[in-house]
């Protein structure tokens, strides 16, 4: 009997454009042959079928599960990462977004990594690499009696491979390169993207630990050690290296930093597989070599309920939120089995640890409904409380699956206690959600509102259309200060705080990313990190006027508050910059639509018009 799916209200016109451009199945003439309900049905049926094919569920049970999967997607309460939406039910392509590939110090291993990355990216995944094991430039090679090219040349080779790949014909390759701060070539790594456009398809992050940060604090020197023979090459000032990181981040947004010792404190699978030394392209998913992780995000804006209570907890539908967490955890675990893996090593490692990344989006929208400013202590408390609840519910759901299906196969090699028989080695991740948040019509990840209004030229009709944050538009009309003139001013970069016609509480509640201090950004990230067993993708957006001291404060604060990594971006620090509210297009990284509206959030460049993204993989 065919599954009878409910009819829901559907997606916005903007989301429909994105879905047509990138997600719907197409005919031989590249015309869409799906609607949004049909896309969600395709994905729901494909992922639910795993219960029958592998776990022996009855057909009626599969139908009921498919309905549950469909409902949470069609109601935009939860969406999986883009590869699952694109490829589930098609028998081609990966369903996972995040991969880390091992990179060892030999020509054979380097070329193997390049080959595997090409296969992963061809079908929609993003890859991370650690350059830390590659011998430094100029080191001797015994087998050829030559000199090593060094890790930066390896990085450039991997970048060229990525440039060859158009992922499933739908998006550009995305990568992360991580290098230990103790590597002899660390200065060249820190500065390798100083020339804009170089290694453009890689994000870069320096891997540090608490020892290095303490050395920065005391202005001490430390040794740079060749990884292939443990020879001390030279001693350098920790504060000098840190200053280089800060200067380059201020100049163009890179490198970021990852705190590896903190990451590995949550690495439960340690006895056989070693430490985690790299992350996925946007930094939120630290992984072991050859691991992959599929992501999905809950739209918190959908769980707001109107209430006269002054307690924010009375304004969240906890019952439905729990149901969605349970269903989403089941969904993501099934994706591991439904997946088509491009590389056998990745399949074996992924199925050994069965990591999933359940995250959130729409947090800023929930705050506006609660009338709580993003840059307030109350918002940090709300964020931490919500994440604690979701983490607890996801842990319980994974424990239940572990009881039914068995714990992840590498469980016996993990540090989990006998009663912690989780199905998944990790459960919670906060991804950037660049495109899926556009489909859901909500703010991305845990980011603040980027802009209240922006404009798009309709070339065919010769009109200027204004796109307005729906929650702001509703309040503006209710409070009687909405006007086309206001939308024009906001879309040109005007701040609410300069407008006398807008009530003070509205100015506070609808604060935008550029108006939030670096420390407030970091404090919000830290509030969530306490309850996330993986990482968090978040960009600390700074104004053009921000100083290197501001960047320094952000990086130090990230370490002191327990974050696992940090990325900053200072507005206007690149010539080829995404188009943001209030700025004219200069030399824009381009998509293929007629009227690109491009923004940068969480390391991703996304088009609000068509959904194109240069590096978003969730």
Q: What is the DSSP string of 549-564?
A: HHHHHHHHHHHHTT-S
Percent of the chain with pLDDT over 70: 89
Catalytic pick among 77, 284, 515, 577: 284
Q: Quick check: is 284 catalytic?
A: yes
Please report the pLDDT score of residue 174 as a whole number.
85
CA separation for the pair 506, 596 (Å, rounded): 29
Domain ranges across the chain: 1-75, 98-279, 452-511
Top-ranked range on mean pLDDT: pick from 92-106, 381-395, 478-492: 381-395
Top-ranked range on mean pLDDT: pick from 2-16, 166-180, 539-553: 539-553
Catalytic pick among 192, 282, 591, 610: 282
Pull the structure tokens for residue 135. 């011998």
Residues 6+ apart with CB under 8 A from 215: 221, 222, 238, 239
CA separation for the pair 152, 208 (Å, rounded): 18
Residue 102 has pLDDT above 50, yes or no: yes
Mean pLDDT of 173-183: 93
The full length of the chain comes to 618
Residue 597 has pLDDT above 80, yes or no: no
Catalytic pick among 280, 334, 424, 469: 280
Burial class (CB in 10 A: 0-12, 13-18, 19+), 603: buried
CA separation for the pair 159, 200 (Å, rounded): 8
> Which one has a higher pLDDT value, 603 or 481?
481
CA separation for the pair 155, 255 (Å, rounded): 14
Q: Quick check: is 16 catalytic?
A: no
Q: Quick check: is 426 catalytic?
A: no
Please report the pLDDT score of residue 464 as a whole number.
59
Residue 467 has pLDDT above 90, yes or no: no
Distance separating the N- and C-terminal Cα atoms of the chain: 33
> Which helix (H) or strand (E) element contains residue 366?
helix 363-370
The DSSP letter of residue 314 is G
Residue 435 has pLDDT above 70, yes or no: yes
Residue 606 — pLDDT band, cuts 50, 70, 90? low
Residue 524 has pLDDT above 50, yes or no: yes
Pull the structure tokens for residue 76. 């935009």
Residue 51 has pLDDT above 70, yes or no: yes
What is Dmax (Cα atoms) for the chain? Answer: 78
Residue 171 — pLDDT band, cuts 50, 70, 90? low
CA separation for the pair 205, 2 (Å, rounded): 49
CA separation for the pair 391, 6 (Å, rounded): 29
Pull the structure tokens for residue 352. 């050994």
Quick check: pTM over 0.85? yes
Please report the pLDDT score of residue 388 as a whole number.
98
Q: At how many degrees (to 10) do helices 151-163 and 107-122 cross?
A: 30
Pull the structure tokens for residue 464. 């200027």
Residue 456 — pLDDT band, cuts 50, 70, 90? low
Please report the pLDDT score of residue 465 as a whole number.
59
CATH topology of domain 98-279: Anaerobic Ribonucleotide-triphosphate Reductase Large Chain (3.20.70)
Please report the pLDDT score of residue 618 as a whole number.
43
Please report the pLDDT score of residue 587 as a whole number.
35
């Amino acid at each position: 009997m065919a599954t009878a799916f409910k009819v829901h209200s559907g997606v916005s016109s903007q989301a429909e454009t994105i879905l047509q451009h990138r997600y719907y199945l197409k005919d031989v003439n590249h015309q869409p042959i799906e609607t949004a309900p049909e896309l969600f049905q395709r994905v729901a049926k494909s992922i639910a079928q795993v219960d029958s094919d592998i776990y022996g569920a009855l057909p009626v049970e599969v139908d009921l599960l498919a309905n549950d999967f469909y409902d949470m997607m069609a109601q935009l309460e939860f969406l999986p990462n883009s590869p699952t939406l694109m490829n589930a039910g098609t028998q081609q392509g990966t369903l996972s977004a995040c991969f880390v590939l091992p990179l060892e110090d030999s020509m054979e291993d380097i070329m193997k990594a390049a080959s595997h990355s090409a296969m992963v990216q061809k079908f929609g995944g993003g890859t991370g690499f650690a350059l830390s094991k590659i011998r430094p430039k100029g080191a001797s090679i015994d087998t050829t009696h030559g000199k090593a090219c060094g890790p930066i040349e390896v990085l450039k080779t991997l970048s060229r491979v990525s440039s060859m790949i158009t992922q499933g014909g739908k998006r550009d390759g995305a990568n992360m390169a991580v290098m230990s701060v103790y590597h002899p070539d660390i200065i060249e790594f820190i500065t390798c993207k100083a020339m804009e456009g170089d290694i453009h398809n890689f994000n870069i992050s320096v891997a540090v630990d608490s020892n290095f940060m303490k050395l920065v604090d005391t202005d001490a020197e430390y040794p740079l050690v060749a990884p292939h023979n443990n020879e001390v090459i030279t001693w350098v000032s920790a504060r000098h290296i840190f200053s280089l990181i800060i200067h380059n981040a201020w100049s163009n947004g890179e490198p970021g930093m990852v705190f590896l010792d903190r990451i590995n404190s949550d690495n439960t699978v340690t006895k056989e597989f070693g430490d985690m030394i790299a992350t996925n392209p946007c930094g939120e998913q630290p992984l072991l070599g050859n691991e992959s992780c599929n992501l999905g995000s809950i739209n918190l804006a959908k769980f707001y309920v109107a209430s006269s209570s002054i307690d924010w907890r009375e304004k969240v539908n906890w019952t439905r939120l729990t149901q969605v967490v349970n269903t989403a955890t089941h969904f993501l675990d099934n994706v591991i089995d439904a997946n088509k893996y491009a590389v056998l090593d990745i399949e074996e490692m992924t199925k050994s640890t069965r990591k999933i990344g359940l995250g959130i989006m729409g947090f800023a929208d929930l705050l506006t409904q609660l009338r709580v400013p993003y840059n307030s202590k109350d918002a940090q408390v709300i964020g931490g409380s919500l994440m604690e609840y979701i983490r607890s519910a996801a842990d319980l759901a994974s424990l239940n699956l572990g009881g039914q299906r068995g714990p992840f196969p590498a469980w016996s090699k993990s540090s989990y206690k006998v009663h912690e028989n989780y199905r998944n080695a990790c459960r919670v991740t906060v991804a950037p959600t660049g495109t899926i948040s556009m489909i859901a019509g909500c703010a991305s990840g845990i980011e603040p509102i980027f802009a209240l209004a922006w404009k798009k030229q309709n070339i065919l009709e010769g009109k200027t259309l204004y796109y307005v944050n729906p929650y702001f538009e509703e309040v503006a009309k209710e409070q009687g200060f909405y006007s086309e003139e206001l939308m024009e001013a906001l879309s040109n970069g005007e701040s609410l705080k300069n407008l006398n016609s807008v009530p003070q509480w509205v100015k506070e509640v609808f604060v935008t990313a550029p108006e939030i201090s670096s420390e407030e950004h970091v404090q919000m990230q830290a509030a969530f990190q306490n309850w996330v067993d993986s990482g968090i993708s978040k960009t600390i957006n700074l104004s053009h006027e921000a100083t290197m001291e501001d960047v320094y404060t952000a990086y130090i604060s990230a370490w002191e508050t327990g974050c696992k990594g940090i990325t900053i971006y200072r507005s206007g620090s690149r010539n080829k910059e995404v188009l943001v509210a209030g700025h004219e297009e200069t030399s824009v990284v381009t998509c293929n639509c007629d009227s690109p509206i491009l923004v940068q959030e969480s390391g991703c460049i996304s088009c609000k018009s068509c959904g194109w993204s240069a590096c978003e993989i969730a």
